[in-house]
Structure 1
Amino acid sequence: MKSMLVLVVSSLILFQVHARAAEALPTLTFLDEYIIDKTFTYKNTSVGGLSSIDYHQGMLYMISDHGNNDASSVLGKPRFYTAKLKLKNDRFESIEFDRVINLLPGSMSALGIDPESLRVLPNHDKVIWASEGDIKKGISPAIYEAKLNNKNTNSNALESRFLLPDMFQVKADSGPYHNAAFEGLSISLDNKGIWVAMEGPLKQDGHEPTTQHGALVRLSYFDLASGRLQKQFAYKVEAISPEPLASENAFRTTGVVEVMQYDQNRFMIIERAFTSGLADGGNRVKLFMLDVTHASDVKYLSTLKNQPIALAKKQLLLDMADIRELLPSKHIDNIEGITFGPVLDSGKRSLILVSDNNFNAYGEQITQLLLFELSL
């Protein structure tokens, strides 16, 4: 009888393990698309360059990378917007902009400030935002705070509590590659820290991705109280799409554009590849689930080259090319932001993505918000 009991218990444990594995990946169902007109302005700013999105208590928070301020058609400096989101019958009903908040003090130059991600810090009346810096000009990436209750929308102190390790500082043979630094942010589930995703590898970790091979990037956790790096994991970004229709001298790039913590050890990661000169815009966007359960902590490793480390596990959730024809626009643009949205009429959670139109500096692009149903 005792052996039978042990067998039953063991079987139950195995069943639970397999059940958890079977339900590991959620499914995404496309619901709707909302496009913000490229000529839309709000309080003397051009609404575009939306590099991230966050949803909090009925509001959307969207950071703008401010585009090319030398262009007379682009208005505004680094900033973020708040907008009231309304859904009806699990579709977009309206997105009503109600505030724009500058991220820099009014007199400060925007030199080297390149906003790429923003998250609301619950119960603190603050947001955390990341700047990619300007590697060519020797300006390192950084993480800052901004106040939500600031009555003067024309000024915000440039403050940071985060102490970045030497690995992220710009040097000749180490640090980030240009335009491949801090691209994604996520508040931890317990609101005690933040996760920061690099768009590409650090120089000391290897070459940037090519059409032949991917690259190792770092996902870092910083404690809010101390501002210090506490843990860090590595995973492999996909190689650049070959794109046989592209010209030989086409510009090609790929990397992580956003991260969002999903549960204790898993994250939703957006990878976006781009190839210039293609008729469909050249954006290739994939959403992955990243699992760090068995990944090595690499925070003390000065390089990832030839290291016997366990990488975070990555599984494909959605290739945006598979839903292109479902979109009213029939177009997948430069998707750079992701957030959990409100609960849908079905009782299921929603997911919202946003694209950065680069203020149409590289050709005709759109600012699109995509709504999905998330099924577990």
Structure 2
Amino acid sequence: MRKLLLLAVLLAGCTTAKKTTVTETPIPDVSSLRLLHKYVVPYNRPFKGTTIGGLSGIDYDSARKVYYIICDDRSEKQPARFYTAQVPVSRKEGDSVIFKDVTYLRKRDGKTYPSKQDFAPDPEAMRYNPHTQSFVWSSEGERILSPAGYILNDPGVYEIDGLGRLVDSFPLPPQFHMQASENGPRRNGTFEGLGFTPNGQYMFVSLEEPRYEDGPRADLKDTTAYTRLIKYDIQTRKPVAQYAYRLSPVAHAPVPADEFRVNGISDILPLSSDKLLVMERSYSRGVKNNTIRVYTIEIGNATNINNIGSLKTTKSFTPVKKTLLLDFDTLHTYVDNVEGMTFGPVLPNGHRSMIFVVDNNFDKDEETQFFVFEVE
């Protein structure tokens, strides 16, 4: 009987969730960002049987002093994955980004994602939650319409443990289901950014480009492109609000003038429950640099558009207020496809650092870059 009682106590201890005490570095007021240095990782650098590239989201673990960086490889080169790395913030001779480990994303059955199937995730953003010691990552889904058939995979937000194993998913608001008609999200324009509020109470998820019902994509001199931010309550896991965000125009005309151009949200970084940093990434074919703009946004009096089906037909709403914080065009250095941002460690002068990462699309003509800034 004593043994049985002891076993019961031990089992109860194993199934009780640990209460984690998290000491978070306070989020500073961000008035400006000053570039300290830039690192470039060699093209197609191998690491533990994988190819480094496609780095689309980054987050800092202040307890372990490492960064987690998700890769947007759709299991075409190697299985979908994220990396653990160290990024020096104080430039010394010989410093470089050091990759420490690779972790594969796994399905509910514990297996990695194969490439040849109807659902291959398109990982774009990932954050570490120090309050739960778990990760959340987003997939853009897929929308392919062809004579051979349709592939319609919804975007999603997924929670995983430290080994990459799927724990749960977050409910998808009905406005974001992929559809064969021109309704819902556009292809490759969905969940590109996400982030937690510092207290761990809320999570924001950003839509890269406008839904079909919400109006046109951003273009040159255009100011009517509205996309959306979704706010989740972490405790209930439910989406509690949506807010309209007006994209800036495409920064530069493509060459030739009728070629592809795009501008959308590539990442977000919450400062509080009503204040965020939003990064817009503008690209025009024929223009070498991407234009990266970082804005401070305030939700303030913005309308909760959770129940508004179309921002194109409904005009009675107030978008979030945005203020330009940084335009990478002013840095006078080659800037590629920046897709992720995170606060880093505290610098020797007491200021916080901020790190940006570039997705090189596994293209030899693009660079895997890391930009290190001082937060002023």
Q: Deviations over 1:103-124 (max 9, x none)?
A: 1343543434100000001132
Matches within 5 A, 1:155-194: 156-171=164-179, 172-194=181-203
Partner Cα separation in structure 2 for residue 277 and residue 122 of structure 1 = 42
- Corresponding residue for residue 20 of structure 1: none
Whichever residue aligns with residue 232 of structure 2, its letter is F
Given candidates 267, 272, 284, the residue that maps to 2:281 is: 272
Whichever residue aligns with residue 140 of structure 1, its letter is D
Determine if the alignment matches structure 1 residue 234 to structure 2 residue 244: yes
Matches within 5 A, 1:216-227: 216-227=226-237
- Corresponding residue for residue 122 of structure 1: 130
Partner Cα separation in structure 2 for residue 203 and residue 253 of structure 1 = 15
Whichever residue aligns with residue 56 of structure 1, its letter is D
Indicate if the aligned counterparts of 2:37 and 2:91 stay in contact, CA closer than 8 A.
no
Q: Secondary structure at the match of 2:250?
A: coil
Q: Secondary structure at the match of 1:167?
A: helix
Partner Cα separation in structure 1 for residue 92 and residue 205 of structure 2 = 31
Matches within 5 A, 1:1-376: 26-57=31-62, 58-66=65-73, 69=76, 75-88=77-90, 93-105=95-107, 106=111, 108-110=113-115, 111-136=119-144, 137-148=151-162, 150=163, 156-171=164-179, 172-214=181-223, 215-243=225-253, 246-278=255-287, 281-305=288-312, 306-324=314-332, 330-360=333-363, 364-375=365-376
Partner Cα separation in structure 1 for residue 219 and residue 193 of structure 2 = 21
- Deviation, 1:101, is 0.8
Q: Deviations over 1:230-283 (max 9, x none)?
A: 11211100122342x6113422111000000123421111101111123xx241
More helix by share: 1
- Deviation, 1:96, is 2.1
Q: Deviations over 1:185-241 (max 9, x none)?
A: 001222123100000111111122222424111111112222211112111001223
Indicate if the aligned counterparts of 2:270 and 2:277 stay in contact, CA closer than 8 A.
yes
Q: Deviations over 1:295-318 (max 9, x none)?
A: 111111112223211111111111
TM-score under structure 1 normalisation? 0.83
Indicate if the aligned counterparts of 2:44 and 2:53 stay in contact, CA closer than 8 A.
no
Partner Cα separation in structure 1 for residue 323 and residue 34 of structure 2 = 17
TM-score under structure 2 normalisation? 0.83
Alpha-carbon distance change, 91 to 336 in structure 1, aligned in 2, over 3 angstroms: farther
**What stretches of structure 1 move > 4 A for 4+ residues in a row?**
89-92
Partner Cα separation in structure 2 for residue 209 and residue 160 of structure 1 = 34
Alpha-carbon distance change, 67 to 320 in structure 1, aligned in 2, over 3 angstroms: farther
Alpha-carbon distance change, 77 to 107 in structure 1, aligned in 2, over 3 angstroms: closer
Indicate if the aligned counterparts of 1:276 and 1:282 stay in contact, CA closer than 8 A.
no
Q: Secondary structure at the match of 1:322?
A: helix
Give unmatched runs, 5+ long, in structure 1: 1-22, 70-74, 151-155, 325-329
Partner Cα separation in structure 1 for residue 336 and residue 94 of structure 2 = 19
- Deviation, 1:368, is 0.7
- Corresponding residue for residue 18 of structure 2: none
- Count of residues in correspondence between the two structures: 332
Q: Deviations over 1:73-116 (max 9, x none)?
A: xx312110011344336999343212111113435434341000
Partner Cα separation in structure 2 for residue 302 and residue 286 of structure 1 = 28
Percent identity reads 30
- Deviation, 1:341, is 0.5
Partner Cα separation in structure 2 for residue 290 and residue 103 of structure 1 = 32
Partner Cα separation in structure 2 for residue 160 and residue 213 of structure 1 = 39
Whichever residue aligns with residue 136 of structure 2, its letter is I
Indicate if the aligned counterparts of 1:49 and 1:67 stay in contact, CA closer than 8 A.
no
Partner Cα separation in structure 2 for residue 65 and residue 263 of structure 1 = 28
Q: Secondary structure at the match of 2:209?
A: coil
Indicate if the aligned counterparts of 1:177 and 1:202 stay in contact, CA closer than 8 A.
yes
Whichever residue aligns with residue 135 of structure 1, its letter is R
Give unmatched runs, 5+ long, in structure 2: 1-27, 145-150
